[in-house]
């Protein structure tokens, strides 16, 4: 039972974190078709959530595993989660390399939308200031 719990934690870290980071980075580098500003903000926020979850879990899952293994004195699992922390560092380095290659920030980016910009359709002349075309 205890073994299964640690195993699930380790597999969740091993596959879950790369999964979240790949999904987040694909969304981040994609060119989505977003009709409104609100949709673009929501899309960017969801992408940020996925990326931040991936980055946090990358460190949190092995750390939690290490802590639990130390609490129940499971030396074998302690050793495994210590190695996993090395993988955590590698993953952070990989994400940092990707982030360094990008020109815009990886987290906190809002993609372009197709909402038409509000245009001034009426000209109000201001005396002493602005005139209007045609009188």
Give the footprint of another protein on this chain (CB under 8 A): 10-11, 14-15, 18-20, 22-27, 30-34, 39, 43, 46, 80, 83
Closest separation in Å from C-beta 54 to another protein: 10
64, with CB counted inside 10 A (0-12, 13-18, 19+), is middle
**Residue (68 or 87) nearer to another protein, CB:** 87
Closest separation in Å from C-beta 78 to another protein: 14
Rounded to an integer, what distance in angstroms lies between the CA atom of residue 77 and that of residue 69? 6
Closest separation in Å from C-beta 72 to another protein: 21
**Residue (43 or 64) nearer to another protein, CB:** 43
Rounded to an integer, what distance in angstroms lies between the CA atom of residue 41 and that of residue 108? 10
Supply φ then ψ for residue 84, to 5 degrees.
-60, -35
């Amino acid at each position: 039972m205890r073994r299964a719990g640690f195993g699930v934690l380790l597999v969740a870290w091993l596959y879950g974190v790369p999964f979240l980071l790949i999904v987040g980075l694909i969304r981040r580098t994609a060119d989505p078709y977003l009709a409104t500003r609100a949709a673009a903000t929501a899309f960017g926020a969801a992408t940020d959530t996925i990326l931040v979850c991936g980055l946090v879990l990358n460190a949190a899952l092995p750390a939690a595993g290490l802590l639990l293994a130390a609490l129940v004195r499971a030396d074998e699992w302690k050793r495994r989660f210590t190695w996993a922390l090395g993988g955590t560092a590698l993953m952070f380095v990989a994400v940092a390399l990707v982030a360094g290659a990008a020109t815009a920030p990886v987290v906190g980016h809002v993609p372009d939308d197709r909402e038409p910009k509000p245009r001034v359709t009426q000209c109000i002349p201001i005396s002493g200031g602005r005139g209007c075309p045609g009188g």
